[in-house]
Amino acid sequence: MPLLPEGRRSLTAYVYNFGPGVAYQPAHRFIAADIDRHEGVWLDIGCGPGWLAIFAGAGKPELDVIGIDTSKTMIALADENKAGRLNITFREMSGADIVYPQHTFDVITAVQTAHHWEDTAAILKECWRVLKVGGQMYIYEADAEAQIPADWIRRRGGWPPDVFLKRRWKKFGMDQARWDVLKAAVAASPFGENVSDERHGFYRRLVLTRV
């Protein structure tokens, strides 16, 4: 059944699902494999059309994966993409108001979404609250200056080329200055200095630990 339109945000969600949502599937698969959880509860913030959550939970009945997004259309698309997998759930929800009890999640991911956050401090505080002690949060943002591993992007007829991706990442990613602002926000959050600054593929990555 066709999804009801939501205006411009709905159109953006559809375009993303059939464009970047497809192109970034290999990257999301690599991220899921690198974190490599087989049990517990995983939260993906800004899940979009759901592919990271789907790859994280596929074939892992002891792992529950919950993806949240503020776009109703994105959630509907993610529900279609998950193809009935029972351990993967998508909910319309903001990262600044996570409707789960404290100490719920073993892992939280936020891939290519932090540059959209309007209240970074509130989101970090909420993530710290719902993480279990010893749990980790992974924040990924694309780096326009990074090399793109050949197998990290799904291309159709040579599209999207690297030059297009890097142009988009200058707008929808984080350069060093913006990354430093994010790191300062993390240091000021309940996570404090319990963070490592890493690289993974073409992403900058922060790994935050709740102690």
Q: Is residue 2 part of a domain?
A: no
* pTM of the predicted model over 0.85: yes
Q: Is residue 170 part of a domain?
A: yes
Q: What is residue 1's predicted lDDT score, i.e. its pLDDT?
A: 38
Q: Is residue 3 part of a domain?
A: no
Quick: pLDDT tens for 85-134: 999 999 999 999 999 999 999 999 999 999 999 999 999 999 999 999 99
Q: Is residue 99 part of a domain?
A: yes
* Full domain range(s) for residue 94: 8-209
Q: Is residue 80 part of a domain?
A: yes
Structure tokens at 1: 């059944």
Q: Name the pLDDT band for 30 (thresholds 50, 70, 90).
A: very high
Quick: pLDDT tens for 134-180: 999 999 999 999 999 989 999 999 999 999 999 999 999 999 999 99
- Percent helix, strand and coil across the chain, each rounded to 5? 35, 25, 35
Cβ proximity of 54 and 117 under 8 Å:
no
The domain that holds 147 is classified in CATH as 3.40.50.150
Angle 8-18/72-81 helices, nearest 10 degrees?
30
How many structural domains comprise the chain?
Answer: 1
Q: Name the pLDDT band for 3 (thresholds 50, 70, 90).
A: very low
